[in-house]
Amino acid sequence: MAMTDRIYEMIRELIENDGAAEIGRNELAGKLGCVPSQINYVISSRFTPEQGYIVESRRGGGGYIRIRMVDGSRDGYRMHIVNNIGTYIDMNSALAILRNLVANGCVPEHEGKLILAALRARSVASLPPETAGAIRADLLKNMLLNI
Please report the pLDDT score of residue 43 as a whole number: 92
> CB under 8 Å to 9, separation ≥6 — which residues?
1
The structure's pTM equals 0.59
pLDDT at residue number 15: 87
Domain count, the chain: 2
Closest CA to 89 of 23, 37, 139: 139
Instruction: Give the end of a domain, one of 43, 69, 95.
Output: 69
The mean pLDDT of 76-104, rounded to a whole number, is 87
Whether 87 and 134 share a structural domain: yes
pLDDT of residue 72: 62
Give yes or no: residues 49 and 96 share one domain: no
Q: From CA 142, how far away is CA 137, in angstroms rounded?
A: 9
- The answer, yes or no, to whether residue 63 has pLDDT greater than 90, is no
Q: What is the distance between the alpha carbons of residues 10 and 3, in angstroms, rounded to a whole number?
A: 11
The reply to whether 31 and 62 lie within a common domain is: yes
Same domain flag for 25 and 57: yes
Residue 79 burial by CB count (10 A; 0-12/13-18/19+): exposed, middle or buried? middle
Using 50, 70 and 90 to split pLDDT, how confident is the model at 71? Answer: low
The parent domain of residue 89 ranges over 74-145
CA distances from 14 to 3, 7, 28 (A): 17, 11, 12
